[in-house]
Amino acid sequence: MATLKEQIETRVAEYDKWAIRRQYAADGPNMRRLWVLACMDERVPVDEALGIRADTPVGGGDAHLFRNAGGIVTDDAIRSAMLTINFFGTKEIIVLQHTGCGMLSANAADLEKALRGKGIDVDNIPIDSSLAELSLAQGAFAKWIGMMDDVDQTCMKCVELLKSHPLIPGDITISGWIWETEFRRLRAPTMDTEARARTQYSAASMGVSGSQPPRWI
């Protein structure tokens, strides 16, 4: 059995490497070689849902964690996934979305209309003012917002998009999961109506009428 002195020395050395691990690039990966794409919703407890230590406390070390509205695949999500995989040793991606998501709570066409009502020209707006080359075609703004009709369908589509993207190597393990906000439990995405009957899994279940602009076809 190691002495306490030896255990302390090992722990100190491991912490020192943890603190500067980025300088080791792919030789200094996070603990699980994992990248998590999750919704920014404050009700989604990433660590509880996945059984890891990444979100609370910050610095848990298990994963790189990327949050955005809906936990969907966007250009910036692809940028972060590409970096963590190709340069920092990540071998697995998890997409974590959830029921009752705000991205189910309105129709994107209505949101676009509201912005136009505030005098914002959504047909001529910079997506990134520091990168003029990144722009939207006319009429694409509502699609860009990324509202959902169905969270399970969207989760499965996001996994498919990641698996087929040229910047994501084919040997990366990719899966998608749904956090049921109502019951604080995790499940795989499914189109089984009975399995999701008591949750807000769709825009219709949240009282939204009309289909979203067809981003997720």
- Give just the sign of the alpha carbon dihedral 71, 77, 83, 85: positive
pLDDT in tens, 90-106: 999 999 999 999 999 99
Q: How far apart are CA 44 and CA 69, in angstroms?
A: 12
Report the pLDDT averaged over residues 180-204: 96
pLDDT surpassing 90 at residue 15: no
Q: Using 50, 70 and 90 to split pLDDT, how confident is the model at 80?
A: very high
pLDDT in tens, 132-164: 888 899 999 999 999 999 999 999 999 999 999
pLDDT surpassing 80 at residue 58: no
Return the DSSP state at 21: G
Percent of the chain with pLDDT over 70: 100
pLDDT at 217: 61
Q: pLDDT averaged over the chain?
A: 94
Question: At a CB cut-off of 8 Å and minimum separation 6, what does 186 contact?
Answer: 49, 50, 177, 178, 179, 180
Strands 34-39 and 63-68: parallel
Report the pLDDT averaged over residues 44-61: 90
| C-beta separation of 168 from 162 below 8 A | yes
Q: Using 50, 70 and 90 to split pLDDT, how confident is the model at 18?
A: confident
pLDDT at 209: 87
- In order of their start, the domains of the chain are 32-105+147-207 (3.40.1050.10), 107-146 (no CATH)
CB-count exposure of residue 69 (10 Å: 0-12, 13-18, 19+): middle
- 92-98, strands of its sheet edge to edge: 63-68, 34-39, 92-98, 173-180, 185-187
